[in-house]
Amino acid sequence: LYAYRQYKELWDRLFNMEDALNWVINSPGYEASNDTGFNGQRFRKQIFEELINTCHFDAILETGTYTGNTTGYLAKTSNLPVYTSELNKWYYDIAQMRLKEFTNIHYNFGDSRKFLRKLAQNEVGKKNVFIYLDAHWYSDLPLQEELNIIGGHWDNFVIMIDDFQVPDDPGYDYDHYTRRKSLRMKIFGKVFAEHNLEPFFPTAPSEQETGNKRGCVVLTPKGKWSNQLEKLESLRKI
């Protein structure tokens, strides 16, 4: 087991190094396109744009900057302040290099839970926010704690979780690490219910989606905003 962990840690470091180098060489600057942001998924972008037009957010929060493609898309499309956090120093530096033309992006290096707690304690904690949760790249899965922080501090918010299973559409891929570390309703449905969150899923079938075809779930507290989300063409309840 010890040897396996050492090997996996070395493999992960080499993979991240090669991936970071590839971005620096082949994509040193952010370029807006249909394939940029939200895994290149056209209907996912439609969901976001409908949410922006419906909910009138004051700011956007993102966990998991990676190299900044979705960050740039969020900043350019919304023209709102975007607060983003990345745990990997290479990706953190690369994102700032690639997005240097943007003035409405605020970067944070470190753990997503500390990032959310910090924002909850300042003026951002009082704002209407869209929150994009995508910090589930590594063995530590912070999603439940992220949801606990958000549900315990913000009043008006919409969350989108990337890489989440769409229960009735296997064509959408999702993250599944172990039996208990899997982005599915079976694992996280109770957490959603604890915070009175209403889950919505894409109306577009996976065969019509473009890009990487990753699943997602959209969450908001039951009430005013959930009633509005029920009217959106891009979202549905299951």
Rounded to two decimals, the pTM is 0.94
pLDDT of residue 97: 97
Give me the pLDDT at residue 5, please: 61
pLDDT of residue 60: 98
- So what's the pLDDT on residue 12? 77
**How do residues 41-84 score in pLDDT, each as one tens digit?**
999 999 999 999 999 999 999 999 999 999 999 999 999 999 99
pLDDT of residue 2: 57
Q: Which whole-number Å values give the CA distances from 6 to 9, 14, 17, 136, in the listed order?
A: 5, 12, 17, 21
Cα separations in angstroms, 59 against 81, 98, 127, 138, 185: 5, 21, 7, 26, 27
Spell out, as residue ranges, where the chain has pLDDT lower than 70: 1-8, 138-139
Alpha-carbon span 60 to 71, nearest angstrom: 10
